[in-house]
Amino acid sequence: MENEKESRWLSFLSQPSHTFEIWREKQITVLQLLSLSMGLGFINLLNRFYIAEMGEHFSVSALIILAMIFSPLVGFIAIKVGAFFAEKIGRLFKGKATYRQMEIAVGWSLLPLMLLIPFWIVEIILFPDIFTSELFVSMTEKEALLFNIVLFFEVILFGWSLLIFVIGFCKYHEFYKMKPVVYVVHTMAFIFLLYNWGNGAVQIYDTVQYNKAIEEEDYETILTNAETDLEEEPADLTALNNKAYALINEGNYEEGLEVVNEVLEIEPDNDTALNNKGWALNMLGRNEEALTVIMQAIAIEPNEAYEYINLGNIYYGLGNYQSGIDAYETAIDYDISEDTASAYYGLGITYYDLAEYEKTIDYMERYLTYLPEDIDAYWVMANAYDFLNNQTQALEMLDHILAIDPENVAVHTYKADLHLYYEQIQEAEIMYQKIITDYPEYPDGYYGMAAIAAYNQNTIDAITNLEIVLEYDPYYFENALYDVFFDNIRETSEFQALEAKYYETDGLYEDSGLGDESVRYD
């Protein structure tokens, strides 16, 4: 009775050597083999799904079902093949174990791995993106710590499983003299597992920090970390690409190109570097060169959304709107996430330029489901609604921006301009006065008050405010040369004198960078 109790399979976990001795003449039953095969196959398949990022193509539930269906076959093959090689390798060193005994050693050494199943359940619940490339994108530092702790316990279970196998391998092959050597090899293997875990933990932490910096647009931190890594390893391609990414985001396009070219000298087919190069060239207006580079990137990695987003941006810069639309739609077909939602933004901007404002609004709304605090999208939608003569919705979009950025003077001005455009003079005047009170250093409020005064044929007040505008920013006076609200005073001597003063001092400003902030008047 005592021997039967000790021979129960759970005793392999606590007394593997003694239990293997009891099982020397036994055989794994069909039910036991099936159970072990299902457990091993399930864990093995989940690991492969994780490594291959299969969540990009299948839902989590679909992957779990696939793992359950194919686990018996995958596990059975692994046990049989493992036992075969364990016997043959042992025989090379004059071992005495039979195939059946190696099947026992391999099979029962899997027991600790069965404990990985609850760990996987925890990981799937806590990290729903575990089978996708998005796993670490939004992961916090605390979540990264928890993830690494779970991985640590998984490493312990792998080491435990390996130890049980080594004990059975030595006992059945009767490697009494070689046992110390085998245990040393096991120890080294376990240390190697821990080393890999440590490296992986550091990489996960660095990735989380990097993604956090990207989310916060903290490119200085990305640049600093990249330069620190490059001091240790000057040819670190990841660090070089990160450095280029930060430089390009900060507007240092030429310097970013130099770093990208360093990567391409080492690895000409580096997809990330080619993508960054195409991006930088596009921002520099070198669209044809950018197109050539992005086509190279797509030839290397044709199934990445990022390449097609960059391709769409390049076609947009070239004015080839239909090709740009096709590229953005291809990006969406491949992958749409917070990181690739800019494909929707690209479509929105393209249709805006094509004066298809309903489509602009549709795509910007889709974009905002991923990045709900991007004020640029609300700004584009406000303009689109404005062109559709929908003042209410245009004002609502501007209010969304002010909820995020209450001190945005351009938005306060646009709201006042909309009231002025619809001849809601009293509301516009109140808003312009508030802009002057809250932001006296900006010309926006003074220009608005000048427009109202001119509309009311109050030349003195109009000229007084325009003089302040001219002092602050001549660009605003340039607007007055064409603004219909100044038609009533444009032929007056006072206005013409101020116009002459403008030409004498500054002349026309071809591009002040503020053009997007002026409202249209029909």
One DSSP character per residue, 284-316 reads: TT-HHHHHHHHHHHHHH-TT-HHHHHHHHHHHH
Looking at the structure, tell me whether residues 490 and 436 fall in a common domain: yes
375-387 helix and 342-353 helix, angle to the nearest 10 degrees: 30
Chain-centre distance of CA 270, in angstroms?
A: 19
Q: Which of 214, 239, 260 is the last residue of a domain?
A: 214
| 167 found inside a domain | yes
| Residue ranges of the chain with per-residue pLDDT less than 50 | 1-7, 508-522
- What is the pLDDT at residue 14? 73
Looking at the structure, tell me whether residues 331 and 189 fall in a common domain: no
Q: Which of 214, 238, 253 is the last residue of a domain?
A: 214
| 275 found inside a domain | no
Looking at the structure, tell me whether residues 54 and 121 fall in a common domain: yes
Looking at the structure, tell me whether residues 210 and 82 fall in a common domain: yes
Separation CA 381–CA 360 (nearest Å): 7
- What is the pLDDT at residue 506? 57
- Taking CA atoms, 32 is separated from 23, 35, 229, in Å, by 13, 5, 50
Q: What is the CATH number of the domain that holds 308?
A: 1.25.40.10
Looking at the structure, tell me whether residues 312 and 437 fall in a common domain: no
Q: Cβ distance 204 to 144 under 8 Å?
A: yes
- What is the pLDDT at residue 2? 44
Q: Cβ distance 346 to 312 under 8 Å?
A: yes
Looking at the structure, tell me whether residues 356 and 443 fall in a common domain: no
Q: What is the CATH number of the domain that holds 448?
A: 1.25.40
User: What's the pTM value of the predicted model, to 2 decimals?
Assistant: 0.65
pLDDT digits (tens, 9 = 90+) for 69-92: 999 999 999 999 999 999 999 999
Q: Cβ distance 207 to 137 under 8 Å?
A: no
| 285 found inside a domain | no
Looking at the structure, tell me whether residues 344 and 450 fall in a common domain: no
Q: Say how many domains are in the chain.
A: 3
- What is the pLDDT at residue 522? 31
| 235 found inside a domain | no
| 256 found inside a domain | no
Q: Cβ distance 54 to 63 under 8 Å?
A: yes
- What is the pLDDT at residue 189? 84
| 223 found inside a domain | no
Q: Which of 364, 399, 434 is the last residue of a domain?
A: 399
- Any idea what DSSP says for residue 520? P
Looking at the structure, tell me whether residues 395 and 413 fall in a common domain: no
- What is the pLDDT at residue 309? 93
* Secondary element (H or E) of residue 421: helix 409-421
Looking at the structure, tell me whether residues 384 and 317 fall in a common domain: yes
Find the domain containing 157 and state its range. Answer: 2-214
- What is the pLDDT at residue 37? 94
| 314 found inside a domain | yes
Looking at the structure, tell me whether residues 389 and 496 fall in a common domain: no
Looking at the structure, tell me whether residues 333 and 413 fall in a common domain: no
Which of these, 227, 250, 302, 313, lies nearest to 278 by C-alpha position? 313
| 78 found inside a domain | yes
Looking at the structure, tell me whether residues 95 and 209 fall in a common domain: yes
Chain-centre distance of CA 158, in angstroms?
A: 32
- What is the pLDDT at residue 518? 32
Q: Tell me the residue length of the chain.
A: 522
